[in-house]
Amino acid sequence: DNVYTEIVPDCSRATLQGIIRGRVDLESVIHSDGWRGYDGLVDLGYQKHFRVQHSHNEFSNKHSHINGIESFWSYAKTRLVRFRGLQKQTFYLHLKECEFRFNHRQENIYLLVLKLLRENPLS
């Protein structure tokens, strides 16, 4: 499963559902926490929306867990803390780098970047 990150202006239902509709296929299985911004995904056609309720000390249940995204945030925090702070204007680039590295963590990143550069030259 791949991770997608985006810096959002707020965590409202409209904002989150707009991003989800633009990025997630209706047949996808969505695992989320109980944040109210995720309310209504089933009404939008996402029939496979499973939740864990952190507010009830629930971190997994028989249908759902969010270990994948928790693993990503652990990875990103460990990687970003080494910088001892980042400039606000470069944070997005660092976050997207973490996303790329996490999504390709089983691959040789060096060889992958070389391949991407050959297929998409900078000039």
Entry field: residues in the chain: 123
Q: Where are the alpha helices (DSSP H) in the chain?
A: 13-23, 67-81, 88-103, 109-119
What is the model's pTM? 0.68
- Which of 63, 76, 65, 77 shows the shortest CA–CA distance to 105? 76
- Strands in 1-123 per DSSP E: 30-32, 49-51
Task: Report d(CA 108, CA 80) in Å as an integer.
Answer: 20
pLDDT score of 64 more than 70: no
Q: What average pLDDT does range 80-89 have in this prediction?
A: 86
